[in-house]
């Protein structure tokens, strides 16, 4: 499988990365070179093989359903590029 | 008179305990060394106050007759992937410029609890994506090593933990933290003639470590020798309820149990690691390593890891896929950079922020990851890669029937020049050919210096062990270290 300029733009849009036409065109051969190389995985017979889910056997732990954290609003907001009145702020999304 | 910056972790720890010198003298010596090494660009932030405070605490404890902590008096460098409270942490990316964590990563906290002090935050490949430190948004780290050909070509310190490797090799830090996703501790250690170990996945907490590929990311120490790595690893390891994949196991006493005798041990040599175009010097060093293993009492056996050639392509699906998900958090809302062009809406703000903030290699990997996870391609790429990952893990399990550790070269070449491989991402990826398989299987693996090539540059040997058997990895590495007698060090040109 290979990508064209339209696919690169579509993928960039899904990834929320702004790219212009020149960047998309530059990325086409770069990504195709990498995708062409990873294509070789297709030749491996994986019939009946389960996909890896955990490299080291481990069980998910359960804990008591109690509050263990919180009350640190100012610390959470400390690095926000824009915060007002104790909230993160973003450009207006509702007219 | 002892040159304090020539000392490793054990020597500093023991010397401070014995009162041969004060922790403050050690800290001051390294702080000066760091401040004079700017041409290496190894440190992004210098934190002399942190190192001095830890040193003063060590000296005060000794004066009061208290027992000293395991790393009392030892100043270290901290890879900038670790969040450090009150100290900027950027993963060497513009998108996190100005980010100052309000919390401390578990691993760094454990090191401070053990008495270590911080010299500063170390440069790295941006978001740990790279093998040469050339993807940092804050400039290349320059290796302290130079070829002996009289030229002054600036060499790569390896990556992604390139600031860590350069700092330890240049003797401006006795040890440093690294992180390893596909070889980011081991390859830079090999390039700079130092030791570094990636423990079993789950040994070191990932909490507070800026995420790249969560199923692979693992922290570990980089230091002058094997014993120093064992000491530092003990301080970094341990169960953390804040990391769902942290292993709830006691921390072994790796240093006390070090044993360079390999009598009764079987060392496997995987035949698939003989790759085309590998320099003869690396092949020769590997042979030498095999002889050293025999000399240490081990039986050497040839083993097969048949899916080795598929490890790298599987890694370059899995790691970018996880990265594309992990890095979705950089949205210009909660921390780091925000780029809000005039009149932009929320979606445009996300896209502009990410376009501005991420470097080219990070964008490339996010795009690859987004593509392989997108509708219609998920099974062909991602699921297939995870199945291949299972086969790679099975290869290792089969090998453990025949041997206790594996011996391989760490990297397919010595350090290359900065700029040499930058134009071709794929050529750069191939640098991780020997380190990625152990990462995919979550296994402990270590690089130890074995010798130098004709240009006088260090070459590393890699030991891969069974899950949780860091002890055998350290022991085999120690056996190599004792026989290699590696004393080469870079000339201080900076």
Q: What is the pLDDT, as a whole number, of residue A93?
A: 83
Answer yes or no: is pLDDT of A60 > 90. no
Is the Cβ–Cβ distance between B269 and B392 less than 8 Å? no
Question: Could you list the residue range(s) of the whole structural domain that residue B167 is in?
Answer: 1-494
Q: Report yes or no: A22 at the B interface, CB cutoff 8 Å.
A: no
ipTM of the complex: 0.96
Query: Strands across the sheet with B195-198, in order?
Result: B43-46, B117-122, B75-79, B175-180, B218-223, B195-198, B445-452, B458-465, B405-409, B266-270, B299-303
By the 8 A CB rule, do B494 and B172 touch?
no
Partner residue opposite B366 with nearest CB, options A17, A18, A41: A17
Q: How far apart are CA B187 and CA B432, in angstroms?
A: 7
**pLDDT of res. B351:** 98
Q: How many CA atoms lie within 13 A of B87 on its CB side?
A: 27
Instruction: For residue A6, list chain B residues with Cβ-Cβ distance below 8 A.
Output: none
Interface check A28 vs B, CB under 8 A: no
pLDDT, position A85: 95
Helix (H, G, I), strand (E, B) or coil at B446: strand
Give the Cα-Cα-Cα angle A7, A10, A12 (nearest 5 degrees): 110
How much of chain A exceeds pLDDT 70, in percent?
98
Closest residue to A46, CB basis, from B331, B348, B388: B388
Helix (H/G/I), strand (E/B), else coil: A4: coil
Q: CA–CA distance from A39 to each of B26, B31, B60, B485 (Å)?
A: 53, 49, 61, 43
pLDDT value of residue B183:
97
The residue of chain A with its CA nearest to that of B328 is A15
State residue A58's pLDDT score.
82
Distance between CA B75 and CA B376 in Å, rounded?
51
pTM above 0.90, yes or no: yes
Number of domains comprising chain B: 1
- Least CB–CB distance from B390: residue in A3, A51, A80: A51
- Given a cut of 80, is residue A1 above it in pLDDT? no
Whole-angstrom Cα distance, residue A6 to residue A9?
5
Give A-chain residues touching B361 at CB under 8 angstroms: none
Q: For B175-243, list the strands marked E by DSSP.
A: 175-180, 195-198, 218-223
Cα→Cα distances B456→B146, B192, B474, B486, Å: 8, 11, 26, 12
Inform me whether the C-beta atom of residue B42 falls under 8 Å from chain A C-beta atoms.
no
Contacts of B115 (CB under 8 A, 6+ apart): B54, B57, B58, B68, B69, B70, B71, B72, B73, B74
B85 an active-site residue? no
Q: Does the distance separating the beta carbons of B244 and A61 come in below 8 Å?
A: yes
CB contact under 8 Å between B336 and A72, yes or no, is: no
Nearest to B363 among A17, A46, A52 (CB): A17
Domain extents in chain A: 5-41
pLDDT, mean of each 10-residue run, chain B (494 residues): 94 98 98 98 98 98 97 98 98 97 98 98 98 96 95 94 98 98 98 98 98 97 98 98 95 98 98 89 96 98 97 97 98 96 95 98 97 93 97 98 98 94 83 96 98 97 98 98 97 94
- CA-based torsion, B466, B469, B470, B471: positive or negative: negative
Cα distance between residue B373 and residue B321, in whole Å: 7
B443: tokens are: 């296994």
pLDDT at residue B427 in the model: 81
pLDDT at A95 over 80: no
Chain B nearest CA to A93, separation (Å): 7
Measured CA to CA, the distance from residue B115 to residue B17 in angstroms comes to: 12
CATH of the domain at B332: 3.90.1300.10
Per the CB < 8 A criterion, the answer to whether B474 and B254 are in contact is yes
For the question of residue B160 being annotated catalytic, the response is yes
Cβ separation A81–B344 shorter than 8 A: no
């Amino acid at each position: 499988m290979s990508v064209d300029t339209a696919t690169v733009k579509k993928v960039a849009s899904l990834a929320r990365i702004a790219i212009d036409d020149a960047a998309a065109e530059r990325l086409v051969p770069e990504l195709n070179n990498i995708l062409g190389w990873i294509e070789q995985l297709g030749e491996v017979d994986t019939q009946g093989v389960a996909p890896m889910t955990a490299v080291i056997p481990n069980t998910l732990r359960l804990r008591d359903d109690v509050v263990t954290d919180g009350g640190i609003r100012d610390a959470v907001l400390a690095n926000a590029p824009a915060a007002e009145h104790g909230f993160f702020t973003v450009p207006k999304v509702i007219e | 008179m002892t040159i304090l910056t020539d000392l490793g972790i054990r020597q500093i720890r023991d010397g401070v305990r014995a009162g041969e010198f004060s922790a403050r003298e050690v800290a001051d010596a390294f702080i000066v060394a760091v401040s004079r090494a700017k041409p290496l660009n190894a440190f992004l932030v210098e934190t002399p106050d942190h190192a001095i405070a830890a040193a003063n605490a060590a000296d005060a404890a000794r004066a009061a007759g208290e027992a000293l902590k395991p790393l009392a008096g030892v100043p270290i460098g901290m890879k900038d992937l670790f969040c450090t409270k009150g100290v900027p942490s950027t993963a060497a990316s513009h998108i996190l410029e100005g980010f100052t964590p309000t919390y401390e990563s578990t691993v760094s906290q454990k090191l401070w609890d053990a008495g270590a002090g911080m010299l500063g935050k170390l440069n790295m490949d941006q978001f740990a994506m790279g093998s040469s430190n050339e993807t940092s948004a804050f400039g290349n780290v320059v290796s302290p090593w130079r070829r002996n050909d009289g030229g002054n070509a600036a060499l790569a310190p390896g990556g992604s933990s390139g600031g860590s490797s350069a700092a330890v090799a240049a003797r401006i830090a006795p040890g440093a933290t690294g992180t390893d996703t596909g070889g980011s501790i081991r390859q830079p250690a090999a390039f700079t003639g130092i030791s570094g170990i990636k423990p079993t996945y789950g040994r070191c907490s990932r909490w507070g470590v800026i995420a790249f590929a969560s199923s692979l990311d693992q922290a570990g120490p980089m230091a002058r020798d094997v014993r120093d790595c064992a000491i530092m690893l003990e301080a970094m390891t341990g169960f953390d309820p804040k990391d769902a994949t942290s292993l709830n196991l006691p921390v072994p006493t790796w240093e006390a149990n070090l044993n360079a005798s390999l009598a009764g041990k079987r060392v496997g040599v995987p035949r698939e690691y003989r790759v085309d175009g590998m320099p003869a010097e690396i092949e020769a060093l590997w042979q030498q390593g095999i002889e050293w293993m025999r000399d240490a009492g081990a039986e050497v056996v040839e083993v097969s890891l048949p899916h080795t050639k598929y490890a790298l392509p599987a890694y370059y699906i899995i790691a970018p896929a996880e990265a594309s998900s992990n890095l979705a958090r950089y949205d210009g809302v909660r921390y780091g950079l925000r780029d809000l062009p005039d009149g932009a809406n929320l979606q445009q703000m996300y896209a502009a922020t990410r376009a501005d903030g991420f470097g080219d290699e990070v964008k490339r990997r996010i795009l690859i990851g987004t593509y392989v996870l997108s509708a219609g391609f998920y099974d062909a790429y991602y699921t297939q890669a995870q199945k291949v990952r299972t086969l790679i893990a099975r290869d290792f399990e089969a090998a453990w029937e025949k041997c206790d550790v594996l011996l391989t070269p760490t990297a397919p070449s010595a350090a290359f020049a900065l700029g040499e491989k930058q134009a071709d991402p794929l050529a750069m990826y191939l640098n991780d050919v020997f380190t990625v398989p152990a990462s995919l299987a979550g296994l402990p693996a270590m690089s130890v210096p074995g010798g130098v090539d004709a240009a006088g540059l260090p070459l590393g040997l890699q030991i891969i062990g069974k899950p949780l058997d860091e002890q055998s990895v350290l022991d085999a590495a120690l056996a190599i270290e004792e026989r290699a007698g590696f004393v080469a060090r870079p000339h201080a040109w900076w």
